[in-house]
Amino acid sequence: MVLFWAVGVIPAGVITAIRGQWLLFWCGWLTLGILWFVGALAPDPDGGSRDPRWMLAPMAIVAVMVVLGIFGARPAPVLGLNGGALQDSVGNSLLGVGEDSCDPEPDGAWECWRWDGGYSSVVSYTVEADWKGCWHAVLRGRPTEDSPKRLAGCATLVNYVF
């Protein structure tokens, strides 16, 4: 998101301000910069006609940022969900200490581990994951005071990389 603002939104806001389109500039703050694109892409009333192809670069940047954002949020349809990424997403790892990977079960579920609230022991969860990499976990065995009985979340690109 920061990269999107640095590459696409902030330059559009600067162009809008340089052109003196102050209403679009100030309203751009309220719309998280969307109106800055309108101000930056609008024809300059004092200038001549422009080649319409120059607008392809900003639109391509926005499209690439949207695709990268979607991929970063839900990489499982492309990369496939593996036990390591799922364990990283489910488990609250303590600097790499603990299990490295969830174990697949015959029924399609996974067995994953997570430190309890006091980081004194590891508890086991049965995890069901869908094609998007989102999962629901149910605690196995007797619940402890510090461990939630149910968990839910989604694996992101961070879980694959780290």
Q: Considering only residues 42 and 79, tell me which one the structure prediction assigns the higher pLDDT.
A: 79
**What is the structure's pLDDT at 126?**
95
Q: Indicate the SS3 state at residue 22.
A: helix
Q: How far apart are CA 47 and CA 150, in angstroms?
A: 61
Residue 38 has pLDDT above 60, yes or no: yes
Residue 111 has pLDDT above 80, yes or no: yes
Residue 130 has pLDDT above 90, yes or no: yes
Specify whether the CB–CB gap between 90 and 138 falls below 8 A. no
Residue 137 has pLDDT above 90, yes or no: yes
Residue 139 has pLDDT above 90, yes or no: yes
Question: 17-26 long-range contacts, Cβ below 8 Å, gap at least 24?
Answer: 19/44
The single-letter DSSP state of residue 55 is G
**What is the structure's pLDDT at 78?**
95
Q: How far apart are CA 162 and CA 1, in angstroms?
A: 19
Residue 150 has pLDDT above 70, yes or no: yes
Q: Which two tokens stand for residue 87?
A: 């364990």
Per DSSP, the residues of 90-111 read HS--BTTBS-SSPEE-TTS-EE
Percentage of residues in the chain having pLDDT higher than 70: 63
* Digit-coded pLDDT (tens) for 54-72: 667 777 777 888 888 899 9
Nearest to 149 by CA among 108, 114, 104, 109: 114
**Model pTM score:** 0.66
Provide the CA 49 distance to its chain's centre, in angstroms: 39
